[in-house]
Amino acid sequence: MTFWEHLDELRGCIIRIVVGVGVAGIAAFCFKDLLFKIVLWPQEPDFPVNALMNAATGSEFQANLINIDLAQQFLTHVKVAMWMGLLVAMPYVVIVLFRYVSPALYSRERRYVVRAAMAGYLLFMSGVALNYFAIFPITFRFLASYQVSPVVQNAISLPSYIGALLVLSLMMGLVFELPVLCWLLAKIGVLRGEVMRKYRRHAIVIVVIVSAVITPTGDPFTLTIVALPIYLLYEASIVVVNKAQSRIPVQQGEDAKPQ
């Protein structure tokens, strides 16, 4: 294919991605009640984490969300629907991108890309789920109930709530991509398992720092909830890197030149 043919194929790929995400976003937009029941549930007293903490503290947490801009609720509806559409359509996006790049890959490289894409999506969704069910509710509970003085009452704006939920979900999803990143680096010979084991103590310090940045609450309980999964991901990455190193040698002629 010529350069312009490649460019035309890329244009078609981008159009299909935009259409797929747009259709999923429109579908999410139409189910407004269900969409915002999911999005707003972490601040409700009956949310699992809130119910447990209410029982432990003996007091019921209740946050007040407000809107002060005329068009903000509609714009928030559109924003949340498009983000949900992107999340739902992500497997389709990955398939479209893979079909675009696969003709340029060897057979072994195609297998690597498929494994990395599947593992990356599952890990990203795991990070989003951990944030939704544990990290964000605890963070929101702390910040929404914190007061510098009893005379200053908290009234959380809707954009502030949605923004914090989306940012923390994105950050936790990206952090959970660590094993996939380490696996790719091991495959190209940049990273080795013994190096990761050697600098394990340094990694623990970095994990604590990253966890402190992700969770602005500062309490040890929330910090532990964030830091422990990240450290377990680091340990899992060591295992993944070791397995990747042991499988680097391949038989001659395994790869077939792409047509």
pLDDT tens for 220-256 read 777 888 889 899 999 999 999 988 877 665 444 444 4
Is the Cβ–Cβ distance between 181 and 187 less than 8 Å?
no
Cα–Cα distance between 134 and 145 in angstroms, integer? 17
pLDDT tens by residue, 13-28: 999 999 999 999 999 9
pLDDT tens by residue, 32-49: 999 999 999 999 988 999
pLDDT tens by residue, 91-103: 999 999 888 888 8
pLDDT of residue 251: 40
The pTM (predicted TM-score) of the whole model is 0.85
Tell whether the model's pLDDT for residue 259 goes beyond 60.
Answer: no
Q: SS3 for 253?
A: coil
pLDDT tens by residue, 138-179: 889 888 888 888 888 888 999 999 999 998 999 999 999 999
Tell whether the model's pLDDT for residue 217 goes beyond 80.
Answer: no
Cα–Cα distance between 36 and 89 in angstroms, integer? 19
